[in-house]
């Protein structure tokens, strides 16, 4: 950045391509929170639905899905993949929701691991299924309404614009992908938010708070749980489809793996379980920490090594110098500190960032914060 603090901003602000990943992973984390945070049933196998959406798009784009050729619009593939995830969710849920608590979490994890192993050895995907599959060629997948308005997304093959509408604004492929993916994520969020605040959503919360009582007053809690599971699978698959469209490749490790679900769980704990939007903030925080402690050019360690004078870097006692401390404690240590952050949040901020804010403000942040700000500006704040 060409500002007096450009180097410092490069350290703390994520790059656009990072924010694209934040959007689709954030949507996946929100889908995880939809069922886990609002019904109280932790779906440890949620990565399975993310993987279904991602693999479905890649296989269809490579002409390996019957009736859906390589030229099928991306929005059709996205919806078809999400519908397939719903079918799988209903089959998995029919068995899993006969259990509760840790047993439910473990059986969903078991189903996901079966799917993981199956995909890793499924020769139909590619000649080496352990490495996954990719979309070849230069044709990008487009987000939008076919024949009306679409935007190509992708790291290298997406749309880009120079001097948009003559305003002198240049948009790179990452910028275009960011806005296009952002629209889908925003629509998905509003859809889930609408469900959460509907009578259906209130029954989901009743199941979480006291399932026996919800059943006693006449609700068929099994059907409500199945519905919540199916909706969450739908949006998890949408997130996976966006991931595949942007990355143009997928493999079992970044789609069906347990650690994909773990990322969603981490984002939900940090952002606030049962807040829907909280997991998105949680994942932004995750990416912020990873970016700052990265070994790459924009990381804090490299910034300190290039900015601090040699006299400071070499200062210390014996072999323990400033530069050694930077190399050992900062450079590439994101996972270490994220683990510590996770523990601290579980112990001291159990409701996460958004949940704690709601508690302090006494209601939804969007409603309460402007009122608090007005009261503070008038001198009547708390």
What is the helix, strand, coil percentage profile of the chain, to 5?
65, 5, 30
**DSSP string computed for 137-166:** SSPPEEEEETTTEEEEE-SSSS--BSSGGG
Confidence of residue 378 (pLDDT cuts 50, 70, 90): confident
Which residue matches tokens 């954030």?
26
Structure-token match 């240049």, residue found:
170
Q: Are 16 and 175 in contact (CB under 8 A)?
A: yes
Contact predicate 228/38, CB 8 Å: yes
Q: Is the dihedral of CA 146, 149, 153, 156 positive or negative?
A: positive
**C-alpha separations of 334 from 21, 171, 282, 286, 309 in Å:** 17, 30, 15, 9, 25
Which of 16, 61, 51 is closest to 180 using CA atoms? 16
- What whole-number distance in Å separates Cα of residue 92 and Cα of residue 111? 7
Distance of CA 309 to the CA centre of its chain: 39
Range 289-316 average pLDDT: 80
Dist CA 120 CA 125 (whole Å): 9
Task: Give tens-digit pLDDT for 362-371.
Answer: 877 777 777 7
DSSP assignment string, 155-213: SSSS--BSSGGGSS--B-HHHHHHHHHHHHHHHHHHHHHHHHTSHHHHHHHHHHHHHHH
pLDDT band (50, 70, 90) for residue 174: confident
pLDDT of residue 333: 77
Asked if pLDDT for residue 342 goes beyond 70, the answer is yes
Lowest mean pLDDT across 125-134, 141-150, 238-247: 141-150
Q: Measure Cα distances from 219 to 97, 201, 240, 304, 325 in Å.
A: 15, 13, 32, 59, 59
Q: Which of 87, 93, 55, 61 is nearest to 74 (CA)?
A: 61
Query: What pTM value is reported for the model?
Result: 0.88
């Amino acid at each position: 950045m060409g500002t007096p603090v450009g180097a410092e901003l490069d350290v703390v602000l994520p790059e656009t391509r990072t924010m694209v990943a934040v959007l689709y992973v954030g949507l996946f984390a929100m889908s995880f929170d939809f069922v886990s945070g609002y019904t109280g049933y932790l779906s440890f196998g949620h990565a399975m639905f993310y993987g279904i959406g991602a693999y479905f798009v890649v296989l269809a784009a490579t002409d390996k899905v019957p009736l859906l050729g390589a030229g099928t619009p991306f929005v059709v593939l996205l919806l078809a993949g999400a519908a397939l995830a719903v079918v799988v969710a209903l089959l998995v849920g029919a068995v899993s929701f006969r259990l509760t608590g840790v047993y439910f979490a473990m059986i969903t994890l078991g189903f996901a691991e079966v799917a993981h192993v199956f995909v890793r050895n499924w020769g139909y995907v590619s000649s080496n299924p352990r490495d996954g599959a990719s979309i070849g060629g230069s044709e990008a997948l487009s987000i939008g309404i076919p024949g009306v308005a679409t935007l190509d997304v992708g790291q290298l093959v997406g749309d880009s614009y120079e001097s948009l509408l003559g305003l002198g604004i240049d948009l790179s492929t990452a910028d275009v992908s960011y806005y296009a993916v952002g629209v889908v994520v925003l629509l998905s969020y509003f859809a889930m938010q609408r469900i959460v605040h509907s009578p259906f959503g209130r029954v989901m919360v009743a199941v979480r708070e006291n399932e026996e009582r919800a059943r006693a007053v006449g609700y068929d809690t099994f059907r409500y749980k199945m519905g919540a599971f199916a909706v969450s699978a739908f949006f998890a698959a949408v997130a996976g489809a966006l991931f595949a469209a942007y990355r143009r490749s997928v493999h079992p490790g970044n789609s069906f793996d347990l650690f994909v679900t773990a990322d969603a769980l981490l984002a939900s704990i940090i952002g606030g379980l049962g807040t829907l939007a909280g997991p998105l903030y949680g994942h932004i925080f995750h990416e912020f920490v990873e970016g700052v402690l990265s070994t790459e050019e924009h990381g804090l360690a490299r910034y300190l090594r290039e900015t601090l004078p040699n006299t400071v870097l070499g200062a210390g006692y014996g072999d323990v110098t400033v530069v050694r401390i930077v190399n050992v404690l900062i450079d590439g240590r994101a996972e270490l500190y994220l683990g510590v952050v996770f523990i601290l949040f579980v112990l001291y901020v159990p409701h996460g960032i958004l949940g704690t804010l709601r508690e302090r403000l006494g209601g939804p942040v969007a409603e309460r914060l402007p009122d608090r700000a007005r009261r503070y500006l008038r001198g009547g704040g708390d």
